[in-house]
């Protein structure tokens, strides 16, 4: 096992605490025993990187390690006592003097007990639990307006979930501490809930805007006037200009999806002229007579 925690985590000595945390989480997710059942090599490597993170993840311990005061298990390092530090103590009064003339070494029992003091305890490493991934479906209008719902996690109670107004399809909500338990007192992971918004039968979301088709009658398209338009936030009265063709787009300001910083996007309404299901003979007679005196070529721009 490498005795250099920086090497184990794959970071340089000048790495920031954030870099160290990121490196550990990446390795922990790769080597965690739950993801490598029966793989003793991965288990041992996981213990090594966890031990390294126990030192480098704590700024005080990291500083002590860098100064050589502790090793990567957290055990105290023995002080390096040399003869020159005790030069004023001479002869028999020198506690580091012995008859063999090797005063620098002192009594061997004292030296080795100093070096190995505190190493009997095994390394204690903490690791954050893994995050858990979930998904849930939400109605289109509930995602726009916001709602409270419940999600039941496996092997756990039902949890209240706040769907914020304007939530998008694919957005992930984080439930702090609802993931896998940590190791050796480490914090639990989180539950990550991906929101899947069910499509609406006629509203389509485009960023913070909403787009939809608006059916109008032939008389409304020709004569114009006030019409009632349903929007996700409620019906509104809109003035349809006279002689409106299919494809004309009306903009309803502030009737789109709520924005994170406040306000809302717009609704873009495309006019679609809908003729009666059954042909009216009087209407057909009028159109035929009108077309004779009002020739029109709507495909002229297409070069045909």
Fold of 204-302: HSP40/DNAj peptide-binding domain (2.60.260)
CATH 1.10.287.110 domain range(s) in the chain: 5-115
Tokens of 108: 């061997």
Q: What angle do CA 57, 61, 63 make, to 5 degrees?
A: 100
Which runs of E-coded beta strand occur in 35-170? 132-138, 147-152, 158-163
**Residue range 68-117, pLDDT digits in tens:** 888 877 777 655 444 444 444 444 444 444 444 333 434 444 433 433 34
Distance, in Å, from the CA atom of 283 to the CA atom of 213, rounded to the nearest integer, reads 25
pLDDT at 148: 93
Distance, in Å, from the CA atom of 52 to the CA atom of 31, rounded to the nearest integer, reads 14
**Residue range 144-182, pLDDT digits in tens:** 999 999 888 776 778 888 999 999 999 999 989 888 888
**Which residue stretches of the chain have pLDDT < 70?**
1-2, 77-125, 155, 304
CATH number of 5-115: 1.10.287.110
N- to C-terminal Cα separation, the chain: 80
CATH 2.60.260.20 domain range(s) in the chain: 132-197, 204-302
Fold of 132-197: HSP40/DNAj peptide-binding domain (2.60.260)
HSE on the CB side for 49, CA within 13 Å? 25
């Amino acid at each position: 096992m490498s005795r250099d925690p920086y090497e184990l985590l794959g970071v340089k000595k000048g790495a920031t605490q954030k870099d160290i945390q990121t490196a550990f989480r990446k390795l922990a997710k790769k080597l965690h025993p739950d993801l490598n059942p029966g793989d003793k090599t991965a288990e041992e490597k996981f213990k090594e990187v966890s031990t390294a993170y126990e030192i480098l993840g704590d700024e005080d311990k990291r500083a002590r390690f860098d100064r050589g005061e502790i090793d990567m298990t957290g055990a105290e390092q023995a002080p390096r006592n040399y003869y020159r530090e005790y030069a004023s103590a001479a002869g028999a009064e020198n506690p580091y003097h012995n008859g063999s003339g090797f005063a620098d070494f002192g009594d061997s029992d004292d030296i080795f007990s100093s070096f190995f003091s505190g190493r009997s305890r095994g390394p204690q490493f903490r690791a954050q639990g893994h995050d858990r991934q979930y998904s849930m479906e939400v109605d289109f209008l509930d995602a726009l307006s916001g709602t409270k719902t419940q999600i039941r996690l496996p092997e756990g109670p039902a949890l209240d979930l706040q769907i914020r107004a304007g939530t998008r399809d694919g957005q992930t909500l984080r439930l702090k501490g609802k993931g896998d338990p940590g190791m050796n007192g480490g914090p639990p992971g989180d539950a990550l809930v991906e929101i899947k918004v069910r499509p609406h039968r006629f509203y389509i979301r485009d960023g913070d805007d909403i787009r939809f088709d608006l059916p109008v009658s032939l008389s409304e398209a020709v004569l114009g006037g006030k019409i009632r338009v349903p929007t996700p936030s409620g019906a509104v009265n809109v003035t349809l200009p006279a002689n409106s063709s299919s494809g004309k787009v009306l903009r309803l300001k502030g009737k789109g999806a709520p924005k994170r910083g406040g306000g809302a996007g717009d609704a873009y309404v495309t006019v679609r002229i809908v003729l009666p299901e059954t042909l009216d003979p009087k209407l057909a007679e009028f159109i035929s007579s009108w077309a004779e005196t009002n020739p029109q070529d709507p495909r002229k721009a297409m070069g045909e």
